[in-house]
Amino acid sequence: MPNPTAAMIVIGDEILSGRTRDSNMHHLAGQLTEAGINLCEARMIGDESKTIIDAVRTMSVAYDHVFTSGGIGPTHDDITADCIAAAFGASIDVREDARAILAAHYAKSGTELNDARLRMARIPEGATLIDNPVSAAPGFKLKNVYVLAGVPSVFTAMVASVLPTLTGGRPLISRTLRIDRGEGDIAGPLRVLADAFPALSIGSYPFQKDGKYGAHIVIRGTEETEIETAMAQLGEVFP
């Protein structure tokens, strides 16, 4: 059976303007690969309702799992929850279970649960809450879409709560060989290898260090013995 597929939607004007460098996609990518789930696509889009709704609809049909990050805070530009509801035609309002979590959290610090903070308890009907051990305000899952926070520490914590609930495929194994030759010398033999092992993904990632060219050849697959065989053949060509 092929591995499950996933996609990510990174939401936020600050990413597209270059103000903030996203780190959540890279984190999720590594976690999914370890879990045997193939991240097939990531889209970075702005805080704009129609764009968010269209991306959610398209990707939730195309992939087994969709993860979003960003736009679930208390301010006016946090519109992700409303967009997810709209994408699936679900109603959305302050939900009692989410309000209770926030009320308990803010009571501890004597902070008022005002209208703005209550926005973080707006959860689409039918969604399941996702635990936020860092700052309480929950994420949620609706259909196959996991709606997570944009702040990296919270995003990471939410991914950790969600991943064990997903059924992965066979974890992708990868082996890397560093070859201190230009990619132009490596390319020919590499194509022969790729043709001989169609089930493996064989990538070449060039680098330049101290004026010398080289490449990391990465062989990925799910069958360890097949990968080792290919690595051995590569090692014979480039000792």
The residue ranges that bind its own copies (CB under 8 A) are 12-23, 25-33, 38-47, 51, 73-77, 111-112, 114-117, 119, 135, 151, 153, 172, 174, 182-188, 190-191, 194, 201-208, 218, 220
CB of 142 to its own copies, least distance (A): 23
CB of 7 to its own copies, least distance (A): 10
DSSP of 140-194: EEETTEEEE-SSHHHHHHHHHHHGGGS---SPPEEEEEEE-S-HHHHHHHHHHHH
* Cα–Cα distance for residue pair 205/177, rounded to 1 Å: 10
228 to 34, 152, 210, 233: CA distances (angstroms):
19, 36, 30, 9
* 81: nearest Cα among 52, 51, 102: 52
Q: Which two tokens stand for residue 141?
A: 């899952």
Q: Which two tokens stand for residue 13?
A: 């004007």
CA atoms within 13 A on the CB side of 166: 29
Decide whether 126 or 205 has the Cβ nearer to its own copies: 205
CB of 220 to its own copies, least distance (A): 7
Decide whether 4 or 203 has the Cβ nearer to its own copies: 203
CB of 36 to its own copies, least distance (A): 12
Decide whether 30 or 126 has the Cβ nearer to its own copies: 30
Decide whether 77 or 93 has the Cβ nearer to its own copies: 77
Decide whether 143 or 175 has the Cβ nearer to its own copies: 175
CB of 126 to its own copies, least distance (A): 26
